[in-house]
């Protein structure tokens, strides 16, 4: 699974002019399931982003996690993170999970996030969304969790 994390002072997502998800200070996580991903990759990605120490401590050093600071988490599905731009000028998205599987893993990811973190808001899978954010820092971090390989 792939995620692009943005540390934010605030963020919201709108669909058809209606705010459907909103947080104050915390993380905006754009999330994409790729072919071969499953619950294990979703769990590993969520664990990493909840514990990633990218928030300032009292000394101003990035030493606190989202869980440490109790900030919000806004999760937005974004299949375009799987873009392949290696050939030509039109990106390909063949590595993204099929829509039904992508939605299943997105829903799983959100459910697990809500079970583990007190403030979770979301976008809407496959909707035309407008995402508004005030990037804090700016701090933007890509995360990729490769599918687990079975050992023989």
pLDDT tens, 69-123?
999 999 999 999 999 999 999 999 999 999 999 999 999 999 999 999 999 999 9
Among the listed residues 1, 4, 6, the one whose alpha carbon sits nearest the alpha carbon of residue 32? 1
Catalytic residue among 6, 55, 78, 122: 78
Catalytic (active site) residue 79 = yes
pLDDT in tens, 25-52: 999 999 999 999 999 999 999 999 999 9
pLDDT at position 151, please?
55
The residue ranges of every structural domain in the chain are: 2-85+93-144
For the residues of 69-103, what is the DSSP string, one character each? Answer: HT-EEEEEE-GGGG-B-SSSSS-B-TTBPPHHHHH
Length of the chain: 152
Quick check: helix, strand or coil at residue 26?
Answer: strand
pLDDT at 111: 98
Rounded to two decimals, what is the model's pTM? 0.95
At residue 148 the predicted structure's pLDDT band, cuts being 50, 70 and 90, is confident
| pLDDT grade for 147, boundaries at 50, 70 and 90 | confident
- Is 55 a known active-site residue? no
Of 55, 79, 109, 122, which is the active-site residue? 79
Query: How high is the pLDDT of residue 41?
Result: 97
**Closest CA relative to residue 131, chosen from 31, 22, 7, 9:** 22
Per the annotation, the verdict on 80 as an active-site residue is: yes
Does 150 have pLDDT greater than 80?
A: no
pLDDT at 149: 66
Integer-rounded Cα Rg, in Å, for the chain is 15
* In the block, residue with structure tokens 């697990």: 112
The CATH number that domain 2-85+93-144 falls under is 3.50.80.10
Active-site residue identified among 80, 95, 122, 140? 80
């Amino acid at each position: 699974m792939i995620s692009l994390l943005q540390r934010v002072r605030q963020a919201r997502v709108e669909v058809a002019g209606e705010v459907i998800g909103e947080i104050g200070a915390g993380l905006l996580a754009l999330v994409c399931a790729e072919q071969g991903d499953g619950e294990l990759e979703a769990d590993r990605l969520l664990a990493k982003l909840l514990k990633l120490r990218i928030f300032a401590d009292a000394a101003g050093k990035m030493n606190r996690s989202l869980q440490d600071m109790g900030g919000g988490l806004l999760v937005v599905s974004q299949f375009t993170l799987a873009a392949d731009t290696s050939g030509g000028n039109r990106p390909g998205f063949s590595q993204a999970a099929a829509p039904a599987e992508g939605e299943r893993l997105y829903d799983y990811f959100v459910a697990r996030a809500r079970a583990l973190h007190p403030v979770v808001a979301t976008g809407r899978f496959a909707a035309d969304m407008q995402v508004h954010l005030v990037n804090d820092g700016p701090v933007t971090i890509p995360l990729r969790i490769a599918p687990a390989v079975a050992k023989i």
